[in-house]
Structure 1
Amino acid sequence: MPEAAMDSSARDPPPKCHPGTRVHIVSKLERLRDDPDRQWHMVWLHGPAGTGKSAVAQTFAELCAEQNRLGAAFFFSRPNKRDRPEKVIPTIAFQLAYYCPAYKSIITRILASDPHLLKKAMHVQFKQLIVRPFSQLQDQNHESVSQPFLVLLDGMDECNREDVQCNLIKMINDLVALRRRFPILWLICSRPEPHLAHTFLRLPDCRREELALDEKSRDDVEKFLRDGLNTLKDKFPHIIPSMWPDEEQLDVVLRFCSSLFAAASVVLNYVSDSAYANPVARLNSLVSFLERTGGAVGPSHPLISLDVLYTRILSEIPEGVYPTTQRILSYLVYSPYGFHWIESCQIFCNFLRLDQNTFYIAFHRLHSVLNIPAPEHAIDKQISFHHASFADFLRDANRSGKFFVDKGKAYVDMAKTFLFWHDLDARLFHTSDGMLLITMVFWSCVAYPLQGLRFNLSHKHDKPLPDLTWASANTSSMISQKIENAADWFFEAFDEIEKMDIKDEKRSSPAGL
Structure 2
Amino acid sequence: MTDTHARGGHGHHILNPAATHNGRQMNGNVYGDYYAGDSHNHGRGSTPFDRLPFAEQAAFNASDKQYDPLCLENTRVEVLAEIRAWIYDRKDERCIFWLEGMAGTGKSTIARTIARKLHDSGHLGASFFFSRGGGDVGHAALFVTTVARQLAEHPNVDNKRILRASITWNPCEISIIRHACLDPSTNFVIDALDECDDENDIKSILQLFTQAQDVTTVRLRVIVTTRPGTHSHLGLHVAPATFRRQLVLDELSKDTVDQDIRAFFESNFVEVRSKHGALPTAWPGDLTVDLLVQRAGALFIYAATVCRFLMEDERLSKERLSVVLRRDRAYQKPLSAIDDMYMKVLQRAIPDNCDEDVRKKLNWLVDKVIKPIVILLQPLSLNSLADLVRIEKEDVVGALRDMRSVLHVPADQNRVVRPLHPSF
Q: Same fold (TM over 0.5)?
A: yes
Equivalent position amino acid for 1:281 in 2: E
Which residues in structure 2 correspond to 1:81-100 (within 5 Å)? 81=135, 82-100=137-155
Task: Decide whether the 8 Å contact of 1:79 with 1:333 is kept in 2.
Answer: no
**What amino acid is aligned across from residue 47 of structure 1 in structure 2?**
G
CA distance change for structure 1 residues 291 and 35 in 2, over 3 Å: closer, same or farther? farther
> Against the structure 1 CA distance between its residues 251 and 146, is the aligned structure 2 distance closer, same or farther, given a 3 Å change threshold?
closer
Q: Which residue in 1 is equivalent to 2:223?
A: 187
Relative to structure 1, the CA distance from residue 296 to residue 265 in structure 2 (aligned partners, 3 Å threshold; closer, same or farther) is: farther
Displacement after TM superposition at 1:4 (Å): 1.1
After TM superposition, give the deviation of residue 106 of structure 1 in Å.
1.3
Whether 1:333 and 2:388 are equivalent positions in the alignment is no
d(CA) in 1 for partners of 2:161 and 2:204?
25
CA positional deviation for 1:351 = 4.3
Residue 252 (str. 1) matches residue 288 (str. 2): no
CA distance in 2, matches of 1:271, 1:293: 23
- Of 217, 228, 237, the match for 2:277: 237
Render the CA deviation track for 1:272-295: whole Å, top value 9, x for unaligned. 222x73111111121123799799
Q: Kindly provide the CA deviation profile for residues 452-473 of structure 1, in whole angstroms up to 9, marking residues without a partner as x.
A: xxxxxxxxxxxxxxxxxxxxxx
Question: Equivalents in 1 of 2:170, 2:127: separation in Å?
Answer: 17
Find 1:324's aligned residue among 342, 345, 365.
Answer: 365
Task: Say which structure, 1 or 2, has more relative contact order (CA 8 Å, 6+ apart).
Answer: 2
1:381-392 correspondence to structure 2 within 5 Å: 381-390=415-424
Aligned counterpart, 2:162: 107
Which residue among 315, 323, 326 is the counterpart of 1:277? 315
- TM-score normalised by the chain length of structure 1: 0.63
| Aligned-partner SS, 2:131 | coil
1:312 aligned onto 2:344: yes
Q: What is the alpha-carbon distance in structure 2 between the residues aligned to residue 127 and residue 8 of structure 1?
A: 30
Distance between the aligned counterparts of 1:187 and 1:332, measured in 2?
30
Structure with the bigger percentage of helix: 1
> Which whole-Å CA distance do the structure 2 matches of 1:195 and 1:357 have between them?
42
1:161 maps to 2:198: yes
Distance 2:161 2:182 in 1: 14
| Deviations, residues 178-225 of structure 1 (Å, cap 9, x unaligned) | 446643211110111x34334475512111112135221111001101
The answer as to whether partners of 2:127 and 2:188 remain within 8 angstroms in 1 is yes
Change (3 A) 1:243 1:200: farther
The answer for the alignment partner of 2:46 in structure 1 is: none
SS at match of 1:388: coil
Amino acid at match of 1:210: V
Give me the whole-angstrom Cα distance separating, in 1, the residues matched to 2:232 and 2:119.
29
Q: Which has the larger radius of gyration?
A: 1
Deviation at 1:174, TM superposition (A): 3.2
1:40 corresponds to 2:72: no
Structure 2: gaps spanning 5 or more residues: 1-54, 351-358
Matched, 1:152 2:189: yes
Q: Take 1:164 and 1:173, find their aligned partners in 2: how far apart are those partners?
A: 14
List per-residue Cα deviations over 1:261-281 (Å, max 9, x = no partner): 11100010112222x731111
Matches of 2:148 and 2:315 in 1, distance apart?
45
- SS of alignment partner, residue 86 of structure 1: coil
1:215 maps to 2:255: yes
Q: How many Å separate the matches in 1 of 2:234 and 2:155?
A: 31
Tell me the distance in 1 between the aligned counterparts of 2:59 and 2:170. Answer: 19
Change beyond 3 A, Cα 1:106–1:230: same
State the AA in 1 paired with 2:272.
L
Q: Which runs of 5+ in 1 are unaligned?
A: 118-123, 138-143, 298-303, 391-513
Cα separation, 2, equivalents of 1:371 and 1:272 = 15
Q: Tell me how far apart the structure 2 counterparts of residues 296 and 46 of structure 1 sit (CA, whole Å).
A: 27
Q: C-alpha deviations, 1:18-39, integer Å up to 9, x for none?
A: 1211122112211211122222
2: CA distance, partners of 1:329 / 1:149: 42
- C-alpha change, 1:230 and 1:109, in structure 2 (3 Å) is closer
Aligned residues with identical type, % of pairs = 21
The Cα RMSD (Å) is: 2.8
Q: Shift of residue 168 of structure 1?
A: 2.4
Residue equivalent to 2:301: 262
| 2-structure distance, mates of 1:292, 1:241 | 33
Task: Tell me which residue corresponds to 2:178.
Answer: 135
TM-aligned CA distance change 1:227 to 1:146, over 3 Å: closer
